[in-house]
Structure formats: structure tokens, C-alpha cells
Amino acid sequence: MIAYSPDCEAPTMFEHFFSILHKGGLVMWPLLALSLVSVTLSFERGLYWIRQNGPASKRGFVKLMEAFRRGDRSHVEALCETSDTVYSRVALSLLHDGASDAVAVGAVEAERIHMDRFMATLSTIITAAPMLGILGTVTGIITSFDLLSGGQAMVDPRAVSGGISEALVATASGLVVALISLFPFMGYGAQRENTLGRLETMIAVAQLTLGATPPPRGMSPREKPVTDTTRQVEQPPREVGVPG
């Protein structure tokens, strides 16, 4: 039994953390780098989606839909000027360039680049982290078998358990890194699909109420274009005896 000595200080959190890194072997360092990248990108994506689909942004989307249903160009532009979300940017494109399919696809694809930012990196981390953990498992088992097959009559059990510990710690660490990346990745993917669904609804309503033709050049979207059928030009009366 090991007697407790009051002079022995408990290991600090950092000492315990670096002890785990040492037990897991060399693959722990790339796993640590992947975990830092994953947390940083997940935080950045979280801030982005809070700005796009937060409570204020959802209320703004509802107001935009109401303005589009009424065909009120001036109200749509006023709402877009007070917010900077994916919905307001696509709405401005539809308002200025017309709600045609080509304009709608171009506006959505321009926003899709921002919505898909860093998603491929998170997907790669989800795939690579367990594989690095399995690599650590293989190297730990190889270390243990090397000790057992060394030809010595007596092998220190602690040396053999070190290889097994390396295998288990590396496997567990790889799974943890993959899991902390998986949940944000799935959540942000769901946000992306919901946003695209709202944009499709907004585009359909805009095409019904505003039409696919943009306003005449030089005319503000706040002004309603006047068609030829409503424009009446008063002709001066002809004088009698004067040929037309």
C-alpha cells in the first residue's frame, strides 16, 4: 500500500492532459490539432447561423414574405436595407434584376458558397479522426507484441500494458474528436437545408407577385413601372380642313 504524503501535490489539469497525450503515443498530436480546428470552425459556423437564422432574422423573413405577397417593392427594399442576411441579399437580387429562374439560381448559388464554408473540412475531420485512432491502436498493439516476442524470459507487465494503454487511449481520443465534430456538422447541415427551403418559398412568391421582368433601367424598385396600357397621351384636336 502506498502511504499518502501531504507533501505530494495532486497533478494539475495540464499535467493530467499531457500525461494522456504521452500515453496515447504520436497520433495524439495530430488528433489534438484536429480537435482545435474542429472547435474553431464549429464556433465560427455557429456565429454565422445565429446571424442568419436567429429570432430577429426569422422575424425579418416573415416580414419579407408578407411584403412579397402584397407585391410591395418599396417595403421589400426598406426591409432589405435594415438587415444583412441571406434572405435580404437574395430578395434584393430578385427586386433589382427580376425574379426569373436565372437570377434566382445565381443569387442562391452565391449564398450557398457562404453556407457551405468549412463544411468539407468538418466532414474530413469526422472521417480522419477515427482512422488516426485506429492507427494509434495498431502501433500500441505492435509495441506490446514486440516486447512479448523479444526472447526475454521475464517481461515487465508494465511495459506490455503501456502498449495496450496507448492503443486504448488513441482509439478513445479519435472517437471523441469525431463526435465533437459530428454534432455541429449535422446541425449546420440541417440549418442549411431549412434556409434553402425558405429561399425557394420566397422565390416562388416573388415570381408570382413581381414577375420575372426587372424594373426599367433608371427607375428605382420603389417605383412601380407604368405599362403602355395605363399610359394615356392626350392628342390635340385637329383643325377643320387641315390634313392629318
For residue 174, count other CB atoms closer than 10 A to its CB: 26
In this predicted model, what pLDDT tens digit does every residue of 5-44 receive, in sequence order? 445 555 677 676 667 777 777 888 999 999 999 999 999 9
Report the distance separating Cα 216 and Cα 107, nearest Å. Answer: 20
pLDDT given at position 1: 38
Which grid cell is 2? 502506498
Decide: residue 94, CB within 10 A, 0-12 exposed, 13-18 middle, 19+ buried.
Answer: buried
Report the distance separating Cα 185 and Cα 180, nearest Å. Answer: 9
The residue whose grid cell reads 502511504 is: 3
Which grid cell is 175? 472517437
Report the distance separating Cα 164 and Cα 158, nearest Å. Answer: 10
Q: Which amino acid is at 66?
A: E
| Contact criterion met (CB below 8 Å) for 31 and 173 | yes
Q: Spell out where 11-146 has E strands.
A: none
How many angstroms separate the most distant Cα atoms in the chain?
134
pLDDT given at position 139: 84
Tell which wins on pLDDT, 145 or 104.
Answer: 104
Query: Domains of the chain: which residue ranges?
Result: 20-209
Least confident of 55-69, 112-126, 132-146, 178-192: 132-146
| Contact criterion met (CB below 8 Å) for 84 and 48 | no
| Contact criterion met (CB below 8 Å) for 171 and 133 | yes
Q: What is the mean pLDDT of the chain?
A: 81
pLDDT given at position 35: 94
pLDDT given at position 176: 94
Tell which wins on pLDDT, 167 or 218.
Answer: 167
For the cut 70, the answer to whether the pLDDT of residue 151 exceeds it is no
Nearest to 215 by CA among 95, 48, 56, 69: 95
Q: Which of 22-26, 74-78, 144-148, 210-214 tops mean pLDDT?
A: 74-78
pLDDT band at residue 136 using 50, 70 and 90 as cut-offs: confident
pLDDT band at residue 240 using 50, 70 and 90 as cut-offs: very low
pLDDT band at residue 147 using 50, 70 and 90 as cut-offs: low
